Amino acid sequence: MKIGFIGLGIMGKPMSKNLIKAGYELVVYNRSRSSVEELAALGAQAADSPADVASKCQVIITMLPNSPQVREVCLGENGILGTAGAGAVVIDMSSIDPVESKAIGEELAKKGIHMMDAPVSGGEPKAIDGTLSVMAGGEKEDFDKYYDLLMAMAGSVVYVGALGSGNVAKLANQVIVAVNIAAVSEALTLATAIQDGFGNTLKSTGIIIGLGVMMGGILEKSGAAERMAYSFIKAVGKKKEEWALAITGWFISIPMLIAAVLYCQWLGKKIYQIPTDDGGFERKGYKKEYIKSMEELDGMIGQKNLPGLWMSIAPIVVPLVLILANTILGMAGIKIGLLSFLGAPIIALAIGTLIAVYGLMKKNDNKEVLGIMDDAIKSTGIIMLITGAGGSLGNVIKVSGIGDALGEAVMALPLPAILIPFIIAALMRIALGSATVAITTAASLSASLMGVISVSPLLMSVSCCVGAISFSYFNDSGFWVWNGMFGVSELKDQIRCKTAISLIMAAVGIVELLILSIFMH
C-alpha cells in the first residue's frame, strides 16, 4: 500500500524517512523540490501536486505549517479532494485550529473521504528519533486500522476522540508546556531576586553586625556595660532607677521610650523577682526596703574592678560622633575627605571596636580577648540569616510587583501617608515575628513609594522602625529569649512584660510621627 506524504519540512522530512525505514512505499510532495529529491533518493516516488499524490494513494499524510495551508492542500485547486477516491483517508498531522479541522473533514466527507487529525508533540529531535507523541482524533475504526502506520513515526499514539479532538489535546498540551516554561522562568527570576536581595542586604549590614556583636561582647566582659549602668543610676538618683536603666538601654541601642518606662515602674511593683545564686529567680512581693541606697550602690561599685566611665562609653560615643558629623556635614553640602572615610558606618564601628579592644582589654591576654570576640561572633549566624532573608523577601516582593500592589492598596486607605511604612512593618512583624525581617521588608517596599507620597525620607525610616517593634508575641524569638532570661514563666506575665511594652512603644511612636510630620516634609 502506497502512503502519500505532503509537507517535507522540519518535521515532515524526518517523519517520512522513518516511514521508509519501516518499509512503507511513499509518494511525496513539497513546494521545495530539494526535500522531494532527498526523499526520492531514499526510494520515495516524487509527485507534482497534492492532487497527484491523492490519485496514487489511499492514505495521505499531511504535515503543514497551519490551517490555511491544510485547507489549500485538501480542498484547493490541485488539492486532495479533486482526485482522491471514496474510502481514502487523510491523516492531518499538522497542529491547526480544531474548528477548521472539523470543517475540512466535513467537506472531504461529502465525497466519502475520511479524515483524522493527529498532531504531534516532541519537536524535531523526536521526529528524527521516531519517538513523537501523537494525539489522534477521528473515527475509531480508522485509528485502529492505521495505528501501526502512526507508530512507525512515534513513541506513543493515543486516541482522544472524534475529529478535532487531536488538535484540542495538542492545544491543552501546549498550554501545559507554556505554563511549565512560565513557571521555570518565574522560578529563575525568584532565585535571582532571592540571591540579589540576600547579598545586597548583607554586603551593607553583615560587617556592621559582626563588629557590633564583637564590641558588645567586650563591653560586657570588661565590665564597661556595668560601669555605664551604675554611673547612670548614680547620676539620675535614688527612686529613679527605671529612668537610669532606660537611659543606659537607649545608649547601648535598646529602644525604650518614656511611656514604656512609666509602665515599667508600675509593672515592676506587680512582678518583682530577685536573681538567685543558682542563676534562677525568686518571686517576691514588692517592698521598698529591697531598693538599694546610694551608699550601698557606691559600695557595690567599689568592690568591682570596673573601667572608667569615659573609657566605657568611648567605643560607642566615638563612632556615633563620627557618623553624626559626617551625616550633618553631608546634608549641609560640606564634604571633608577624611571625615567621609572615618564617618562611614563600617569604618566608624571598626574604630569603636578597636577602642574597646585596646582601651578596655589592654591588660587582658590576647587569647582571652580573641575568645570573647569569637564567642560573640558565633551568635551572629542566625542574625545574619534573618537579616539576609529579610532582604531577600523584600526584593522578591519588589520584583514580583507585590510591593506595588500593596503600596497602592495601603495608599487607598484614608490614613496619613506617614503611617504607610508603619502599617507594612507592623503587618510583617505580626505575620513573621521578626523585627529584622519586618523593618527590612517595610524599608524595601516604602522605598518604591518615595516618589508617590510627599513624606520626609527620614520620617519614613522612623515609621518603619516603629512598626517593626509594634507587636512582640509568641512567634518572636526575642519574646522567648527575654522571658527565659528574666525567668518570667506565666503567660499573663509574659504578655504584660514583653508584648505590652512593644505596643506602648509603638503607640507613642505613632503619636511622635504624626507630630513630627506636621513640621517635617
**End-to-end CA gap in the chain:** 87
Burial class (CB in 10 A: 0-12, 13-18, 19+), 97: middle
With contact defined as beta carbons under 8 Å apart, do 440 and 481 qualify?
Answer: no
95: its cell numbers: 497542529
439: its cell numbers: 523593618
CA–CA distance, 136 with 149 (Å, rounded to integer): 12
Return the residue matching grid coordinates 483517508.
89
296: its cell numbers: 550601698
With contact defined as beta carbons under 8 Å apart, do 332 and 323 qualify?
Answer: no
Backbone angles phi, psi at 283, to 5 degrees: -80, 125
Residue type, 403: G
Please report which helix (H) or strand (E) contains residue 114, including its range. Answer: strand 114-117
Q: Is 86 helix (H, G, I), strand (E, B) or coil?
A: coil
180: its cell numbers: 511549565
CA–CA distance, 276 with 89 (Å, rounded to integer): 96
Kindly compute the dihedral angle of the four CA atoms of residues 321, 325, 331, 334, in this order, to the nearest 10 degrees: -170
Which of 364, 309, 315 has its CA nearest to residue 215? 315
Set 13, 17, 170, 221: catalytic member:
170
The residues, any chain, with a CB within 8 Å of residue 170's CB and separated by 6 or more, are 95, 119, 120, 121, 135
41: its cell numbers: 533518493
Transcribe 38-68 into DSSP letters.
Answer: HHHTTTPEE-SSHHHHHHH-SEEEE--SSHH
With contact defined as beta carbons under 8 Å apart, do 268 and 497 qualify?
Answer: no
63: left (phi over 0), alpha (psi -120 to 50) or beta: beta
170 noted as active-site residue: yes
Residues annotated as catalytic are 170
